[in-house]
Amino acid sequence: RFLPSEYGVDPDFMEHSIAPGSVLFEQKRKVRRAIEESGIPHTYVIAHCFAGYFLSGLASFGRFWPPAAKVQIYGDGNHKGKRRPLLEETPESRKLAQG
pLDDT in tens, 46-77: 876 655 555 566 555 566 565 666 666 667 77
- Residue 57: which domain range? 11-98
Distance CA 93, CA 28 (A): 17
- The mean per-residue pLDDT over the stretch 21-26 comes to 88
pLDDT at 40: 92
Rounded distance, CA 77 to CA 26, Å? 37
Q: Is-catalytic flag, 28?
A: yes
What is residue 33's predicted lDDT score, i.e. its pLDDT?
94
Which residue among 28, 80, 82, 95 is the active-site one? 28
Please give the single-letter amino acid code of residue 43.
T
- Express as a percent the part of the chain with pLDDT over 70: 57
Inside any domain, residue 22: yes
Q: Look at residue 15 and tell me if it is in a domain.
A: yes
- Is residue 4 in a domain? no
Split at pLDDT 50, 70, 90, the class of 32 is: very high
- Residue 5 covered by a domain: no
Q: What is the pTM of this model?
A: 0.49
Number of domains observed in the structure of the chain: 1
Q: Given this model, what pLDDT does residue 12 score?
A: 86
